[in-house]
Structure 1
Amino acid sequence: MIERVCRILEYDKMKDQLIQFASSSLGKQRVKDLQPSFNFEYIKEAQQRTYEGAKVIRLKGQAPLGGIRDIRASIKRSEIGGLLNEKELLDISSTIYGSRRFKSFVESLIEDEIELTILPDLVSGIVPLTDLEREINQAIDENGGVLDSASAALRSIRQQIRSHESGIRSKLESITRSSNGRKMLSDAIITIRNERYVIPVKSEYRSHFGGMVHDQSASGATLFVEPEAVVQLNNQLREAKVKEKQEIQRILQELSARISEHVEELADIVAIMSEVDFIFAKAFYSDSIKGIQPKLNEGGFIKMTKARHPLIPNDEIVPIDVELGGDFSSLVITGPNTGGKTVTLKTVGLLTLMAQSGLQIPCEEGSSAAVFQKIFADIGDEQSIEQSLSTFSSHMTNIVQIMNEVDFQSLVLFDELGAGTDPTEGAALAISILDHVYNVGAKVIATTHYSELKGYAYNREGVMNASVEFDVETLRPTYRLLIGIPGRSNAFAISRRLGLTDKIIEEAKSHITADSNKMEQMISSLEDSRKKAERDVSEAEELRLDAERLHSELAAEMEKLEEEKQKVLQSAEDKAANSVRKAKEEAEQIIAELREIQKNNPNIKDHELINAKKRLEKAEPNLAGTRKKPAPRREKPKVDKLIPGDEVKVVSLDQKGYIAEKVNDKEYYVQLGMMKMKVKKDDLLYINRPKAVETKPLAAVRGKEAHVKTELDLRGERYENAMMDVEKYLDDAVLAGYHQVSIIHGKGTGALRKGVQELLKNHRNVQETRMGTQGEGGSGVTVVSLK
């Protein structure tokens, strides 16, 4: 069943994307073998491995994975005494080097105090076979040739070969350069036939040179003759080359034997680097789809915020918010065709399979994924011509199998439940099937056209309506998923927009039952209420941002005034102190003069001089109270409970950020610009908590708090859309009171980066810009200081 579900949800197409990020055949094979797991602890471990790989990529931008080869067959053959060729030996040397380099890379990360657990444990099993690598590289060059330095005997033999070849060429060149030779030869060249040096002789002069004929031209006019003068030298050359082959074989055999001594270490290297390549393939894929590590649970709770289907291009996808397993365990989605209902099913299903495969999912931070023991899907028209089954029969055959296997740990996805038969019977059958799945305790998402199922969701506890929004004005779906609101029938509105007369439409309405009319009116009222609530929330949010901006500006102005006040007081105190210093110097001078006078007038006593000095000191102005000490800045009070979105200060770093995620009661993940780091609660100082705007509660509408991030990610955006996003984001950042933000445009071809920097250069709110540092993303990021 899981194989069929994977096919329906296009799991293999997702793997085709993933495999592109594997660096070696080992990693590619791991991707091909990838399947969803149903073991909760195994999935948690796999997710943590992907997270560590993604963390390294986020901080370092890359991981050295080159040079890894699948050398398992070569290792096995050396173990049983087989002879490895030059290429196999080079592959082994390359793999040793690649593993050694990656181990050094991980050790450097630890030295940089980057918190890792899985990768250090993995590379601890790599034995750096440096001596074996050096022996192979000293014997074989990068092109697979055995070097002269491989052995003294080989060097000597090759010197003999070069000497023999030189002697042969010398003798043959003397023949080709002679006047007789030019007359008797077809061409004044030296060539090789049967691994022996020969010259092209005209057939009529064959007997003139003696020796042996090794070949002739197609016409027979030219014979390739080995002259008698070089026969002995050719024999000696042949013998030397035989010795060379024998020595090369001996060297390869010796290296193969050396490899057989390290079979276990090499096998460990292959296994470890296969896992490493697989980890980073998942991490790079996550980066490409902007994936996050979901919060896993075994309770069947799904909360996917801004979920995106990874197979749909970024410029076409509309993110959706889906929740299941909390207040309700069944979700019934109604709405018109081509509205995005099936895409919603496939998005939830595929992202669940990805999460259970240890892959990060393309959602916003804080999203949750459940680990199910069984996943079922009945999507699309799988009519079987061979079995002569109708569409309805084909679907029912699949649904029967699902009903027989479904349990409380299952996720079930139904597309157009009950379709293909009489609407009344189909709707009744769909309700019965949904009741059965609900009573079993499974989590289910179903799409349908039947209006009866809209009322079903209102009359069942634990069942929720949803719809895909449709814009009647443009006659196109918006693809937004609206949880809590059933899909309304737009047939009349669409018909009127297309030109059908009001008389026909009114007559059609008269044929609809009163209950159906009430249902449509209720749905329309819900939609109007939802849109009004969204407008109210938006307006309230703008007012909040304006208030925060004004508060920030006033606080900055007060701080500036306080600084100016302290400067004025400091200046006055400095002037007064300078006056006192001059007065003291003058007093000392007076006393010195008095002492000089005393020498000439003994009637003046010492105590009179001392009293005079004390009077001068009392004349010094008292400045102790002229300047008030600046009042100590009051720190923001700490709070017992921090929640995501709270603005905080990391005391040890003197940096402001906001709570991204709670780890436990003593630790939190804090977003500091582009960097997210784990911080202890004792090191956090609470600053501010964005207030949610209260609106009248609606049974079917759920609001959410908004928060302006300190960074804008443009990667994957089209140029025109990116420029608009930057304009809007800068306005939002100024309203939020930010002094510095980061624009992530990536490196790529540089077009997006150039466009962003041109826009920033002339923007009214930009004070200055600079490229990011190594820790901020380098040339892929522009850091902006705001006015």
Structure 2
Amino acid sequence: MNKKILDILEFDQIKAQVAQSLSTSQGQTEMAHLSPISDKVRIQKWFDELSEFGAIVQENGPVPLSNTADLTEILRRIELDASLASQEFAKIKKVLRLANETRRFFEQAVNVSFPVLGQTLDKFVDVAYLLGILQVIDAAGALSDTASDKLYTLRQNIKKGDAEVKKILAELLSKSQANLTESIITIRQGRPVLAVRSDSKNKVPGIVHDMSASGQTFYIEPNRVVQLNNDIAQKKIEEKNEVARILRELAEAIKPHLNDIRQNTWLIGQIDLINAKYRYQVAQKATVPLISDHKAIKLYAARHPLIDPKVVVANDLFFDQTLETIVITGPNTGGKTITLKTLGVAQLMAQSGLPILADLGSQVGIFTEIFADIGDEQSIAQSLSTFSSHMTNIVKILDQVDAKSLVLFDELGAGTDPKEGAALAISILDFLKSKHAKTLATTHYPELKAYGVESDGVENASMAFDLDNFRPTYRLVQGVPGRSNALEISRRLGLPTQILAEAAGFLTEDEHDVNVMIASLEQKNQEMTESARQIKVLEKDNELLHHDLTRALETFNRDREKELNKARQEAQDIVKVAVEEADNILKNLQEKSLLKPHEIIDAKHQLGELAPEIVDLSKNKVLKKAKAKRGLKPGVEVLVLSYNQRGNLVRLAKDGRWEVQMGLITTKLSEAEFEPIEPEEIVKKTKTKTVKKTVTSNIKAQLDLRGVRYEEAQKMLDDYMDQALLANLHQITIVHGIGTGVIRDMVREYLQRSRHVKSYTYAPQNAGGSGASIVTLK
């Protein structure tokens, strides 16, 4: 975008308004670089980020941004191995901490999704390591005593030395009051001294460091503290060297991570910029516009951002795909120029990713260039007239314009003979039409009213005038050319009737008819505008109602989900107690041989499945789609994963689980516990090796899984656990070997999940070590 249009439309002043909400120096940098672009994808991404950011803030509160320093020069000096002060490391630490806090804020955001903004947030780099090593720098920028053992020792010794010096000087003060001009300890040349009277300087032996201007006071460092002060001075030198060494080490530790730091500082700037855009949007009641694919512009209640909100007049402006030129006619001071600028500013703001001052539903186009000839650019230095100055600028515009340009002309053809000026204006507009550029032009020439009526792709517009109050309304009226109100205004101001009648006689009949027609059009347009306004009010009310209802529904669904999960949790607790009681009953029945082992195992499985799982009801729609894709229905053959056995689906229970028939056994299973078997797979399926469930009263307390395949090992472990429980074994050993660790990991995951396992651990070294697990059952 050419710089001239940014100056003409005062884009920097608009950016300054948005910048008032920035918190960080990184955000200031991003704002300084902000300018209009013509990449629709990037602009849409900016708008999506802004919309998602607004939703996050509304649900989770403001983003924790704070003032930060610009790290550009500091990081460059680290690259050059230059020395840094501890305060500069404190600035780095503050920025890194802010990056962490910002990332954490978005990670913890609830009740909202932000896929587009999330792509930017994913670029944050974890800098916990750097924050760890910078803990030795406090918030004030001082290096902590604990930065190194040597630094701690030196500073402790300095403190002790200072305390000893103060003690001695305090003692001398009390004993030498008669020899002192002041009863205080002061500092001269970095050394603590006493203010001794000139006639008593020999009574306080020591080193003279200074003398008062009058010569009446000598500042003496007593001999008793000279050596102590020398020791302190030496330790301070050592402290300074130690601090320098530590800071060099910090710089060396940070140096490999400079790109990560720059990445995070850039991201802080991006978030701060988005935050400023959002705050500007809220404060100015701005909106995020839609983006047209065909340069169509629809602005509802558009306002100029640099005009006082209390007095600015909002205007609708419709520049659809088929319309290439709008000609605004009418008298001066009616608001034509502001209308031009409002359109241009709205486009610049939108193409910079800023919200525009217009109502919801507004639409903007995408232009590679925006050109404008607005205002009086007469140049005395170049001896150019007003007309020549404008024409020079117009010539430059016409040389560069194309189908992706927006052109704004204020008083086109003004400053010369009216007939010639009107002819030039029409020719220029025709040329721009041939280039398919969007053009908004203002003019005084009545000839252009006829041009707007007779030419395709051209529309007349005017600024309304309040005849009752003799003042402009600053409201744009599209489709109606402007008309002169000179005779009517003169009549109301008291101009004699004779003069008015004679003036009217000079007008042709056609001119009179045109004025009557324009007046009629204005009346009809006013009626249509009022109807449209009422419809728009209703639409806005409906949108607000829809928004409120949507929020209420979301809140209701979340509350319902919480209550249902709470109820399910309570039911799960109740069933858990019932299952434990059922286990005891089944053990007693086993001892009395009233049931067969496989019947007991199946009964336990069914009892355990009574406990409902806590589910996230917000995912129900996705689950329904998944079920539909899998084609689950009664009669479908499935493979039950926990038993490696085939079965058939019987029916879908109310809790979302399926009843599955496996031979004589019927059980309830979730969809994760079985897989449907496709018909073609049945033909190709090789014979499955099955392991019979058998229970023996002489079951061993050890299961050996070495050399067994993964699936078979799972089956053997499951069967063995059932038999061990039925046999009331208290402790068992599972030998899984070491090998690749796959069988061992499977066993330990199984034990971790099992509610019948009290504890488990690896066997002692002499009993197999990590190749076997000793399990204690409940």
TM-score by length of 2: 0.68
- Give the corresponding residue for 2:419: 424
Q: Deviations over 1:212-237 (max 9, x none)?
A: 11000011111101122222222122
* 1:174 maps to 2:175: no
Q: SS where residue 112 of structure 2 aligns?
A: coil
CA shift, 1:263, in A, is: 2.0
* 1:254 maps to 2:249: yes
Q: Deviations over 1:766-787 (max 9, x none)?
A: xxxxxxxxxxxxxxxxxxxxxx
Q: SS where residue 108 of structure 2 aligns?
A: helix
Q: Distance in 1 between matches of 2:528 and 2:300?
A: 20
- Structure 1 residues 489 and 25: CA distance shift in structure 2, 3 A: same
Identical aligned residues as a percent: 40
- Give the corresponding residue for 1:50: 50
- Give the corresponding residue for 2:478: 483
- Give the corresponding residue for 1:73: 73
Decide whether the 8 Å contact of 2:25 with 2:67 is kept in 1. Answer: no
Q: Distance in 1 between matches of 2:490 and 2:551?
A: 65
Equivalent residues in 2 for 1:604-619 (5 A)?
none
- Give the corresponding residue for 1:149: 146
- Structure 1 residues 233 and 651: CA distance shift in structure 2, 3 A: closer
Correspondence for 1:124 among 122, 125, 138: 122
Q: Distance in 1 between matches of 2:130 and 2:534?
A: 70
Decide whether the 8 Å contact of 2:462 with 2:477 is kept in 1. Answer: yes
CA shift, 1:529, in A, is: 2.9
Decide whether the 8 Å contact of 1:75 with 1:259 is kept in 2. Answer: no
* 1:324 maps to 2:319: yes
Decide whether the 8 Å contact of 1:334 with 1:467 is kept in 2. Answer: yes
CA shift, 1:311, in A, is: 1.1
Match of 1:151, as an amino acid? Answer: S
Q: Distance in 2 between matches of 1:539 and 1:254?
A: 70
Decide whether the 8 Å contact of 2:335 with 2:474 is kept in 1. Answer: yes
- Structure 1 residues 442 and 644: CA distance shift in structure 2, 3 A: farther
Match of 2:16, as an amino acid? Answer: D
Decide whether the 8 Å contact of 1:374 with 1:409 is kept in 2. Answer: yes
Q: Distance in 1 between matches of 2:531 and 2:174?
A: 101
Decide whether the 8 Å contact of 1:9 with 1:350 is kept in 2. Answer: yes
CA shift, 1:61, in A, is: 4.3
Unaligned runs of 5+ in 1: 546-642, 657-679, 684-787
Decide whether the 8 Å contact of 2:477 with 2:525 is kept in 1. Answer: no
CA shift, 1:56, in A, is: 2.8
- Give the corresponding residue for 1:160: 157
Decide whether the 8 Å contact of 1:54 with 1:284 is kept in 2. Answer: no
- Give the corresponding residue for 2:567: none
- Give the corresponding residue for 2:225: 230
CA shift, 1:120, in A, is: 2.2
Q: Deviations over 1:572-623 (max 9, x none)?
A: xxxxxxxxxxxxxxxxxxxxxxxxxxxxxxxxxxxxxxxxxxxxxxxxxxxx
- Structure 1 residues 127 and 405: CA distance shift in structure 2, 3 A: closer
- Structure 1 residues 655 and 69: CA distance shift in structure 2, 3 A: closer
- Give the corresponding residue for 2:15: 15
Decide whether the 8 Å contact of 1:295 with 1:368 is kept in 2. Answer: yes
Q: SS where residue 295 of structure 2 aligns?
A: coil
Equivalent residues in 2 for 1:379-528 (5 A)?
379-528=374-523
CA shift, 1:78, in A, is: 2.4
Decide whether the 8 Å contact of 2:86 with 2:142 is kept in 1. Answer: yes
Q: Which deviates more, 79-88 or 419-428?
A: 79-88
Match of 1:92, as an amino acid? Answer: I
CA shift, 1:390, in A, is: 0.8
Q: Distance in 1 between matches of 2:333 and 2:347?
A: 23
CA shift, 1:39, in A, is: 2.2
Q: Distance in 2 between matches of 1:289 and 1:70?
A: 29
- Give the corresponding residue for 1:26: 26
Match of 2:255, as an amino acid? Answer: S
Decide whether the 8 Å contact of 2:373 with 2:394 is kept in 1. Answer: yes
- Structure 1 residues 286 and 240: CA distance shift in structure 2, 3 A: same
Match of 1:186, as an amino acid? Answer: T
RMSD (Å) for aligned C-alpha atoms: 2.8
Equivalent residues in 2 for 1:683-694 (5 A)?
none
Q: Deviations over 1:141-164 (max 9, x none)?
A: 222222222222222222221222
Q: Deviations over 1:457-480 (max 9, x none)?
A: 111111111111100111111111
CA shift, 1:534, in A, is: 5.6
Match of 1:6, as an amino acid? Answer: L
Decide whether the 8 Å contact of 2:328 with 2:462 is kept in 1. Answer: yes
Match of 2:25, as an amino acid? Answer: S
Q: Which deviates more, 480-489 or 223-232?
A: 223-232
Q: SS where residue 375 of structure 1 aligns?
A: strand
- Structure 1 residues 82 and 209: CA distance shift in structure 2, 3 A: same
Q: Distance in 1 between matches of 2:386 and 2:401?
A: 22
Equivalent residues in 2 for 1:328-343 (5 A)?
328-343=323-338
Match of 1:364, as an amino acid? Answer: D
- Give the corresponding residue for 2:698: none
Q: Distance in 2 between matches of 1:107 and 1:457?
A: 57
CA shift, 1:645, in A, is: 10
Match of 2:47, as an amino acid? Answer: Q
Match of 1:429, as an amino acid? Answer: L
Q: Which deviates more, 24-33 or 345-354?
A: 24-33
CA shift, 1:401, in A, is: 1.1
Q: Deviations over 1:285-331 (max 9, x none)?
A: 22222222212124221111111111112111111010113342211
Q: Distance in 2 between matches of 1:158 and 1:525?
A: 92
Match of 2:79, as an amino acid? Answer: E
Decide whether the 8 Å contact of 1:308 with 1:362 is kept in 2. Answer: yes
- Structure 1 residues 369 and 78: CA distance shift in structure 2, 3 A: same
- Structure 1 residues 99 and 655: CA distance shift in structure 2, 3 A: closer
Q: SS where residue 343 of structure 2 aligns?
A: helix
Match of 1:236, as an amino acid? Answer: D
- Structure 1 residues 354 and 164: CA distance shift in structure 2, 3 A: same
- Give the corresponding residue for 2:63: 63
Q: Distance in 1 between matches of 2:353 and 2:532?
A: 37
Match of 1:132, as an amino acid? Answer: L
Match of 1:465, as an amino acid? Answer: N
- Give the corresponding residue for 1:201: 196
- Structure 1 residues 15 and 541: CA distance shift in structure 2, 3 A: closer
Q: Which deviates more, 366-375 or 39-48?
A: 39-48
Q: Distance in 1 between matches of 2:245 and 2:353?
A: 48
Q: Distance in 2 between matches of 1:506 and 1:368?
A: 48
Unaligned runs of 5+ in 2: 556-620, 625-778
Q: Distance in 2 between matches of 1:650 and 1:204?
A: 93
Decide whether the 8 Å contact of 2:47 with 2:288 is kept in 1. Answer: yes
Q: Distance in 2 between matches of 1:648 and 1:259?
A: 49
Match of 2:455, as an amino acid? Answer: R
- Give the corresponding residue for 2:35: 35
- Give the corresponding residue for 1:6: 6
Q: Deviations over 1:105-129 (max 9, x none)?
A: 11112xx241202332222222332
Decide whether the 8 Å contact of 2:315 with 2:475 is kept in 1. Answer: yes
* 1:304 maps to 2:299: yes
Q: Deviations over 1:736-765 (max 9, x none)?
A: xxxxxxxxxxxxxxxxxxxxxxxxxxxxxx
Q: Distance in 1 between matches of 2:187 and 2:546?
A: 82
Q: Distance in 1 between matches of 2:457 and 2:377?
A: 30
Decide whether the 8 Å contact of 2:59 with 2:111 is kept in 1. Answer: no
Decide whether the 8 Å contact of 2:192 with 2:221 is kept in 1. Answer: yes
- Structure 1 residues 393 and 540: CA distance shift in structure 2, 3 A: closer
TM-score by length of 1: 0.67
Q: Distance in 2 between matches of 1:130 and 1:67?
A: 21
Aligned residues between the structures: 556
Q: Deviations over 1:240-270 (max 9, x none)?
A: 2212212222222222222124223212212
